[in-house]
Structure 1
Amino acid sequence: MPENTHQDGTAQPHLLDLLRARLRFRHYSLRTERFYVDWVRRFVHFHHLRHPSEMGAAEVTAFLTYLAVDGQVSASTQN
């Protein structure tokens, strides 16, 4: 059975689709949604496409350190 299906054969929504749905439910602006999706995409790619549910504080710290040192992203942006 493919990795992205339930046991009953129905498709599971993808991570970014779930994020978009949650942001829309909370009435975030489209611009904010795009930025959040972009940051999550960067985080996942930084960790070689691992799912965020498999990661914890160490991975978040590593990503933020990368942004501060190599990505030259300001602390206010990281917050």
Structure 2
Amino acid sequence: MYNVLLTILLILSAIIIIAIFMQPAKNQSSNVFDASSGALFERTKARGFEAVMQRLTAILVFCWMLIALALVIISSK
């Protein structure tokens, strides 16, 4: 059981990394230090692909945390 959960955790870790890199950039890096950029700290609602990727990443991280917690509980016995 421990080895199966550990394998799932490693695969899930790779999928999370891919999902994070697939997310679109929030802002342009050239405008980060521009004083006229008023949209830097504004929160805009994610739509379309960005919303799907945010939800998918959140679900994957939640599953990752559950599996990691299960591995800790199993290994402490």
What TM-score does the superposition give when structure 2 sets the normalisation length?
0.30
TM-score for the superposition, normalised by structure 1: 0.29
Higher helix share goes to which structure?
2
Choose 1 or 2 for highest CA Rg: 2
RCO greater where, 1 or 2, for CA within 8 Å and sep 6 or more? 2
